[in-house]
Structure 1
Amino acid sequence: MSSSLLLLLLLLFIVPAFMLEFRYHSNREMEQYLLQVNASNPDITHLYSIGTTVRGQQLWVLALGDSPDHHTVGVPEFKYVANMHGNEVLGRVLLLQLIEELVRGYRSSETWSLQLLHSTRIHILPTMNPDGFDNADNNCVYVQGRFNSNGADLNRGFPDTFAGLRQQPNVNEQKMEPEVRAVVDWLKSETFVLSANLHGGALVASYPYDNSNGGPELVGGASVTPDNDVFLHLAKVYSSSHAHMSKGNQCEDVSPFQDGVTNGYQWYPLEGGMQDFNYVWAQCLELTLELSCCKFPPPEDLPALWTDNKQALLAYIQQVHLGVKGRVFDAAGVPVQGALVEVRGRQNLCPFRTNRFGEYYRLLLPGNYSFTVTYPDHEVLTDTLAVPYGPDQFSAKQHDFLLRRTTTLTGLAPTEPAQADLTPTCSQRLNLAGGGATARWSALTVGFSLVVLRSLVD
C-alpha cells in the first residue's frame, strides 16, 4: 500500500465526519470541512494553500474538476474568492454550500454538475481574510474585522492599474500584505479566465474598472474597459439569475442600481482593487459581487440567502465558456508561450498572451471578430472568427492558430515577443510565466495534511 493511501486512510479515521450546517463556521471548522471533502472525493477535489496570513493561518483553496490537481489544456480555470473583508461573511457560507452542492450533484450523477466539472476546473477560496473574520462582530454596518491583522484593507492593497501604468512599478518588488501577495502569486501559477469576489453590504454585481486616471476610459461617469460589453453581460447573468438582485433597490441607504449591476468607478472610485488587477495584469475577467444588505446576516437568514444565490453562482461559472479558446503554434508545430492574441477594437492595457501551454482564452459575446496573432520571427497572422454562444454547450469555440516563419529569420525566436509602449512592463510586472509559485505550492499540497493534523491536535 502506498504511503499516500496510508495517509489518506489515517486522515479519514482521525478527522471526524463534518455535517455542513447553515451557520458560521470558525476557521478551524472550515479547515476540517475542506480536509474531509478533499479526503472523501480525491477523484474530483484537490486542496492546496496559496500562502499564509499575517497571523500564519493558511489560505486554503479547494479545486474541483476531472483533473483537480493540475491544469488540462483546453479546460478553463475559474475561481471564487470570499471574505476578503473579514466582517463580510456571507460569501464564506455560500462557497462552502457551493462545494457541497457540486460534490453532491457529481455523486448523484446530476447532469448540470457533471457538465460543469467535466468542462471546468473550479477553484474556491472561502476566506481570503481569516484573521479579520476572527476579529469581526455581527454588526450589519460597522467595520470591525474588515481589515487584516496589520490594519490593512486588502481590497485597496493591489498594485493599482492606472497608477501602476504611470509609475511603471514592478509587482514583484512592491510591498504587499501577505494575503495580497498570496493572491498575486496565485495568479502567476494559473491562467484564470473568469473570477468573482464575494462581498456584503449591498446587493449588486459590480464590474471594472474601479479606478481611472481621467483618460479615454472615462465615458459618461463610468470607467469603461475594452471588454465592457462582456463585463456588462457577466454582471447581468449573475443579477438576473439571483432571486432579487435585478430589482436593483433592495437595500436601504443604498442608491438603486439599474438591473442590479454597476460599473465600479461609477459607483465609487477605488484604488488598488483586486478586480482591476485580475483583469489588466492577469487576463482574468473578475466581478465584485455584493450579496447581502447586511454584512453579517443573522444565522437564521442563511438558508434563504443560499437559495437566492445558488442558481446565480452556478450560472456565473458557466460563463467561463464564452468566446474563443485555443493554442498558438509556431512554424514547427510547437505551442508557444507569450504570443500576443489581440481582438480588433479591444486595446487592452496589457495585451492578452498565450500561457506556457501555448493557450489563449478570450471571453467574447456571439459575433464576428478579427484576431491578430504576433510572435517574433513569424509572420503576423490575421483571421476572422464567427463566435457562437458557448456556455450552453459548456465549451467556447475552439480555434488554433498556426504561424509561419518570416523569410528574414536570423536566429531562434526570443522567449518574449517584442512589444511597444507599456506592454513590456506588463509581462515583467506580473511575470505570468510563473514556475516558482507552482513549485512552492506543490510542496505545500504534499505536506498540507500533516500541517492540518498538527493544528487539530495542538
Structure 2
Amino acid sequence: MCCDCVCRLTKDCHAEMADNQDNSNDSRRSSQNFPARGYSRRHISLLSACLLAIAYILACLPYPAEAIGQIRWEYHDYAMLHQELDDFRLRWPQLSRVYTIGTSVKGREMYVLEISDNPGVHEVGEPEMKYIANMHGNEPIGRELLIHFAEFLCIQYYKKDFRIQRLVNETRLHILFSMNPDGFQEAYELFNSSQGLSLPYYGRSNANGEDLNRNFPNLNNMAYESERLSGKNHHFIPLKSDLLKLQPETANVLRWLSDYPFVLSANLHEGEMVANYPYDTSRSRRSFYTASPDDAVFKHLAQTYATKHAFMSTRTEPCPYTGAEVFAGGITNGADWYSIRGGMQDYNYLATNCFEITVEIGCLKFPPANRLSRIWDDNKEALIGFMERVHIGIKGRVTDTKEQPIPDAIVKVTGPAINHDITTAIDGDFWRLLMPGLYTITATAPGYEPQSRVATVKRNRSTWMTFTLHKEEPKPECIEEEEDELDNANILFEIKEAFRDMGYAKKKGCGSEPPREQVNRGPLLATP
C-alpha cells in the first residue's frame, strides 16, 4: 500500500469517526435508549481500519517514529542486554542484525550487533571492523558505551547526518558487547547487592578463573624467529598445545575472526586512560618498546582515539592508584608498558588481516551509573573517529583474466618494504591500512604470475587498486636422457654420475643451463 493512499485512508477514518460521533450525539439527544451494541461494533471496525492505516504509515516513514535516545544510562545485566537487542532489532531492522558467536562457560550467549546499510551481507570492497568490550567482566563501561554508540549511529543515520550516513553506508560494523558475560554477571551482582561496591579482581576472569587476555595463542615467538630467519611474516598457525588451552570464550572469538574479514578493531578496557598498540609481547622477558612492522600505522590509530577523546591525550594527572602514570600523548606501546603473553591484539595482527588496539577508557572500574552519560560524551567523537580509520591506506580486488576472484592471494607492500603481508578475502577483495605516501604493491598467488603496481596513498581516504593475475606458463618437463657421447661409453653408473657432476653430460629437454666453469679436462676418452 502506498503512503499517499494510507494518508488518504487515515483522513477518511478521522472524518467518518467525527461524523459518527456527531450522529451519536444527536441520537443521545433524541433518545435515552441508544443502541449501544451497534455503536460499539461500528466504531470498533472503524478503529481497526485506522490502526491498520497508522501501522502502514509507520512503515513508510523515512526514519523510525522513535528516533530519539531510548536506552537508559544504567548497567545492563545479561537479561537486560538481551531485551535491548530484541528492541533494537525491531526499531532499526534496515540497519541492524543480531547474531551470536557462541556461548560462555555457563552457557550465556556472546551477542554481536551488526550495523550496516545492508546487514547480513558482505559487500565487495566494503571493509569490516569490530568493537569489543567487557573482556574482563569487572570492566563494564565499554559495554554500556557501545550499546549507546549503536543507537547513536542509527538515530543519526535517519536524521540524515551526512558523516554518519557515509560511515554506515561504507562500513560493516560488528559490536561484541561482552566477551566475558559470566564474569560481568558476577561483578554486576556484587555491584548491585553492595550498593556500588566493586572489588579490583572480582569478575575479571571467566567462570573458569582464566584471564581471557592471556588465553590467546602466543604467536609472537613464532613471528620473532621467522623475522630473524627472513621467513613468513603473517597468518601464523597456532600450535596444537595452545589451542587445547583455549577457554570457550576465546575459541568463539577465534572462529569469529576466521568467519569475517576484519580490517580494524578496538578492544575497550578500564583501569587506566591510554590507547595501547602492538606488540604486547616483548622479545624477552623484560618490558621494553617492541615495534611491529606496522608501528607507524598503529601509532596513528592509537593517536586517533587518544586525541579525539575529550582529555586522554592532554591529561596531566595519573589515575588515583599506586604505580599509575601519565602517558605522553595518551598512547603507549603495549610491551613498553608491561609485557604480556597470549594477548588478543597481537593475535589479531599475527593470525589475521586485522589491526587491533586496546583502549583503556577510564581509571575507575564500575563507576556509578549516573556518570556514564558524561563518559559517553568524552568518548563519542573518539569512537566515530577511530571507526573512520578503517578507510585509510589501500583497498581493492585481485582477480584472474576471466575476472574471477582469487581468494587467499598475498598482497605485499614491497616498496618501501613493510614486512607484514595480508591476504585477499573469499571475493578477492583486500584492505591494507597504510600511512600517506607512495608505495609499490605486489599481488601474488600460487599458479599465477605476480603483478606489481604503484599506489599513492592520500590522507583520510583509501586508494582503490585492482590486480589481474595471469596464469603461469607451464615449464617443459626435464627428460632424464644423456647425450650420445656419454651413453656410448662403456662406463659404470658411478663414473657416469661423476662425469655428469663435472659438466660433461647434459640432460635433453631441460632447457638451457647456465654455463659451468670451464676447466681444461682434455678429451673424454684417451685415444690409444
Counterpart amino acid of 1:145? G
- Determine if contact 1:337/1:355 at 8 Å carries over to the other structure: yes
| Aligned-partner SS, 1:304 | helix
Distance of aligned partners of 1:140 and 1:255 in 2 relative to their CA distance in 1, 3 Å threshold: farther
Q: Deviations over 1:341-364 (max 9, x none)?
A: 01122112xx31111111111001
| Counterparts of 1:173 and 1:89, CA distance in 2 | 28
Counterpart residue identity of residue 237, structure 1: T
What does residue 122 of structure 2 align with?
71
The 2-side partners of 1:202 and 1:79 are apart by 22
Q: How does 1:33-44 map to 2 (within 5 A)?
A: 33-44=84-95
2:245 to 153, 157, 175: 175
Paired position in structure 2 for 1:432: none
1:334 maps onto 2:404 in alignment: yes
Aligned residue among 294, 310, 322 for 1:227: 294
1:155 to 182, 206, 213: 213
Q: CA–CA distance in 1 between the matches of 2:220 and 2:282?
A: 6
**Aligned twin of 1:304:** 374
Cα offset for 1:247? 1.7
Q: 1:135 Cα shift?
A: 1.0
Letter in 2 for 1:39: L
The answer as to whether partners of 2:423 and 2:430 remain within 8 angstroms in 1 is yes
Q: Deviations over 1:260-280 (max 9, x none)?
A: 000000000011011111111
Preserved contact between residue 217 and residue 243 of structure 2 (Cα < 8 Å): no
Which residue of the partner structure matches residue 343 of structure 1?
413
1:32 matches 2:83: yes
Deviations 1:120-174 (A, max 9, x none): 0111111111100111144566110001100010111100122455696149953
Unmatched segments (≥5 aa) in structure 2: 1-54, 56-65, 192-196, 226-236, 478-528
User: What SS is found at the alignment partner of 1:297?
Assistant: coil
In 2, the alpha carbon distance for the partners of 1:112 and 1:296 equals 32
The answer to whether the aligner puts 1:130 opposite 2:181 as a matched pair is yes
Residues 218, 242 of structure 2: 8 Å contact kept: no
1:186-201 aligned at under 5 Å gives the runs 186-201=256-271
The amino acid that maps onto 1:152 is E
Superposition deviation, residue 214 in structure 1 = 4.0
Candidates 398, 403, 408, aligned match of 2:464 = 398
Report 1:27-426 matches (<5 A): 27-136=78-187, 137-138=190-191, 139=197, 142-163=200-221, 169-170=239-240, 173-214=243-284, 221-250=288-317, 251-253=319-321, 254-344=324-414, 345-348=417-420, 351-391=421-461, 396-408=462-474
Where 2:386 maps in the other structure, the secondary structure is helix
SS of equivalent residue, structure 2 residue 98: strand
* Alignment partners' CA distance in 2, 1:339 and 1:103: 35
Counterpart of 2:366 in structure 1: which amino acid?
A: F
Report deviation, 1:40: 2.0
Larger Rg: 2
Amino acid at match of 1:155: N
Q: Mark the runs of 5 or more structure 1 residues left unpaired by the alignment.
A: 1-8, 10-16, 412-458
Q: Which amino acid aligns with 1:239?
A: A
Q: What RMSD over aligned residues (CA atoms) do the two structures have, in Å?
A: 2.3
TM-score by length of 2: 0.70
1:456 aligned partner: none
Contact 1:248–1:261 (CA under 8 A) maintained in structure 2: no
Superimposed CA distance per residue, residues 74-101 of structure 1 (whole angstroms, 9 cap, x where no aligned partner): 1110100000000011001100110110
CA distance in 2, matches of 1:402, 1:268: 45
Q: What's the counterpart of residue 22 of structure 1?
A: 73
Q: Alignment identity in percent? A: 39
Paired residue for 1:436?
A: none
Answer whether contact 2:276 2:331 (CA < 8 A) is retained: yes
Report the counterpart of residue 48 of structure 2 in structure 1. none
- The CA deviation at 1:335 is 1.0
Q: 1:171 to 1:30 in 2, by over 3 A?
A: farther
The range that moved more, 84-93 or 166-175, is 166-175
Deviation at 1:365, TM superposition (A): 1.1
Equivalent residue number for residue 444 of structure 1: none
**AA partner of residue 144 (structure 1):** Y
Contact 2:219 2:238 in 1 (8 A): no
The CA deviation string for residues 320-354 of structure 1, in whole angstroms up to 9 with x for no partner, is 00100011112332110111101122112xx3111
CA offset digits 1:94-126 (Å, max 9, x no partner): 001101101111121111221111110111111
Aligned counterparts of 2:119 and 2:334: Cα–Cα separation in 1: 33
- C-alpha separation in 2, matches of 1:141 and 1:371: 51
Letter of the structure 2 residue corresponding to residue 388 of structure 1: K
Q: What do residues 412-445 of structure 1 show as CA deviations (whole Å, max 9, x unaligned)?
A: xxxxxxxxxxxxxxxxxxxxxxxxxxxxxxxxxx
Indicate if the aligned counterparts of 1:390 and 1:397 stay in contact, CA closer than 8 A.
Answer: no
Aligned-partner Cα distance in 2 for 1:125–1:249: 32
Change (3 A) 1:410 1:183: farther
- Shift in Å, 1:405: 2.3
